[in-house]
Structure 1
Amino acid sequence: MSLLKDHVVLVTGGGSGLGLGLARHCLAEGAEVVIFEISADKVRALREEFGPDVLIVQGDVTSLADLRACREAITERYGRLDALIGAQGIFDGNVPILEMPEERLDALFEEVMRVNVKGYLLSARVFGELLRASQGALVLTTSTAAYAADGGGAVYSASKGAIRSLVGQLAFEFAPLVRVNAVAPAGIANSQLSGPRSLGLDAQKQSDIPQDAFLSMFRSLSLLQELPTPEDHGPLYAFLASRHNRIMTGQTVVADQGLLNRAVLNRG
């Protein structure tokens, strides 16, 4: 497979879960892959898995200095960047707003919006010129929570709705040289999306939910019954990131296994 042959692709938040699955798929599609990851433990694991074939850069997507250092490393090694795939994100624990301590709401909003939205804004600014030079692509990750209630709590849903709107604005500003799109997944097997530190949930991940319970809930809502893996999303992201995509910009592709296909959730 060679959808991304002769492409240099950066995956932010690529240390686990969706981001790692996407990085693996891009590598299989022939790309030169760069992974940007904040966790030192995950960076060590990435280097063990990929060795020198993949450029691993440790940093925080909310840090301008870290993103600039990543840009310098990419320029030094490859001299260009053809696509940026944004996969970082944190959850809000799906805590109803009336059950949330009032004094923690401000910190929760700042934490979730900083990673989920500001991280993409800074990435677009820092890597935008490289993407314009290569006539490349920016592919972000939103969620079905941007389209329907109960995909997360109020703050997470607000952040994912903001990303959906951001895609349209960036596509407008970066046209005609850079294609900007997003993918909105629903449930993902072995999701490593963690909770917020502001609610004391940073040690919890979505994958901690018992698999049988999560799968039962997923199948009760979705038309397609197989819970997709991170790698299953790879072909969609890879196409949007590639030069083969000559027709789409400013779009969010809803990858929901039919979750939103019907207004009534009860088949009876």
Structure 2
Amino acid sequence: MQILDGHVVLVTGGGSGLGLGVARHCLSEGAELAILEYDPAKVIALKEEFGDQVLVCQGDVRSVEDLQACRTAITDRYGRLTALIGAQGIFDGMVPLADTPIDRIDALFDEVFSVNVKGYILTARIFHDLLASERGAIVLTCSTAAYAADGGGLFYTASKGAVRSVVSQLAFEFAPEIRVNAVAPSGIANSQLRGPAALGMENSKQSDIPKETFRAGFRTTALMDLPTPEDYGVLFAYLASRHNAIMTGQTVVADQGMLNRAVISSIGTGGTPAVS
């Protein structure tokens, strides 16, 4: 038996990067799948890849109207929803606050928080009753940036800290009918997180960074290879499934051991410690 047999799963932001990898994994685990994607070009690509096997909706997680239209499409096709996986996100370009133009701060804050936080809150509200009737699950995407500095700029980091708090509060409010958890990845190979339009970076993506340069930023991890989006799929799928009967209010840190070390040394490489 596959872990998501009998589950109807919605993945928001499932058109590329982490979301697409998670969606593919959920489908391979037997889920009946719906994807909500903002970018029209990605919607076309999803329909070409999955055909009629997957319900693909175009919409913006910041729009109540779009989310309600997606809900209607899901109930029309499947009649129910077992799990919601939130995978949409936007980066902030890692621009330090001191270098951020003062006249751009309002727009930058609103853009990052509306996608990374408000989108999850609206989605949870609109799909709450469907998930409750299935005794289902919500799984959101956090980040190791919520636990340690330099995983993003101030606005991205603050938004991911907010996601941790959203998970804690919704797990309390939605219990016992709905389990609410999150996964906090660190590096993701071929990450498609785009930059903010507020800083003129809407056409840049993390995947534009040369692979070795990006990998060098994670040189302190115990497991050196950058995971693919599909590698993270197993965590999202388990938390979304009914096999998870005990975890709620938790954010699972999936960091390849990065936060396990507070000090860089040569221990484990045959050398002597850099500090004593």
User: How far 1:266 sits from its partner (Å)?
Assistant: 4.5
User: How far 1:265 sits from its partner (Å)?
Assistant: 3.2
In 2, the alpha carbon distance for the partners of 1:62 and 1:45 equals: 22
Query: 1:245 aligns to what?
Result: 244
Query: 2:17 aligns to what?
Result: 17
3-state secondary structure, aligned to 1:122: helix
User: How far 1:145 sits from its partner (Å)?
Assistant: 0.4
In 2, the alpha carbon distance for the partners of 1:82 and 1:28 equals: 16
Query: 1:145 aligns to what?
Result: 145
Number of aligned residue pairs: give it.
Answer: 267
Q: How does 1:112-131 map to 2 (within 5 A)?
A: 112-131=112-131
Query: 2:82 aligns to what?
Result: 82
Query: 2:157 aligns to what?
Result: 157
Query: 1:215 aligns to what?
Result: 215
User: How far 1:216 sits from its partner (Å)?
Assistant: 2.5
Listed as ranges, the gaps of 5+ residues in structure 1 are: none
Query: 2:52 aligns to what?
Result: 52
Q: Give the aligned CA root-mean-square deviation in angstroms.
A: 0.8
Query: 1:191 aligns to what?
Result: 191
Letter paired with 1:22: V
Q: Deviations over 1:65-121 (max 9, x none)?
A: 000000000001000000000000000000000011111011100000000000000
In 2, the alpha carbon distance for the partners of 1:146 and 1:175 equals: 24
In 2, the alpha carbon distance for the partners of 1:116 and 1:266 equals: 35
TM-score normalised by L of structure 2: 0.96
TM-score normalised by L of structure 1: 0.98
In 1, the alpha carbon distance for the partners of 2:186 and 2:138 equals: 20
Question: Rg larger in 1 or in 2?
Answer: 2
Letter paired with 2:166: L
Query: 2:225 aligns to what?
Result: 226
In 1, the alpha carbon distance for the partners of 2:264 and 2:152 equals: 17
3-state secondary structure, aligned to 2:217: helix
Letter paired with 1:242: S
Query: 2:271 aligns to what?
Result: none
User: How far 1:264 sits from its partner (Å)?
Assistant: 1.5
Query: 1:261 aligns to what?
Result: 260
Letter paired with 1:28: S
3-state secondary structure, aligned to 2:56: strand
Letter paired with 1:169: Q
In 2, the alpha carbon distance for the partners of 1:5 and 1:156 equals: 35
Q: Deviations over 1:176-216 (max 9, x none)?
A: 01000000000000000000000000100000000111122
3-state secondary structure, aligned to 2:60: coil
In 1, the alpha carbon distance for the partners of 2:96 and 2:264 equals: 21
In 1, the alpha carbon distance for the partners of 2:122 and 2:264 equals: 38
3-state secondary structure, aligned to 1:177: coil
Letter paired with 1:224: L
In 2, the alpha carbon distance for the partners of 1:184 and 1:153 equals: 16
Listed as ranges, the gaps of 5+ residues in structure 2 are: 267-273
Letter paired with 2:97: I
Q: Any runs of at least 4 consecutive aligned residues in structure 1 with deviations exceeding 2 A, and if so which? A: 265-268
Q: Deviations over 1:242-262 (max 9, x none)?
A: 000001000000000001001
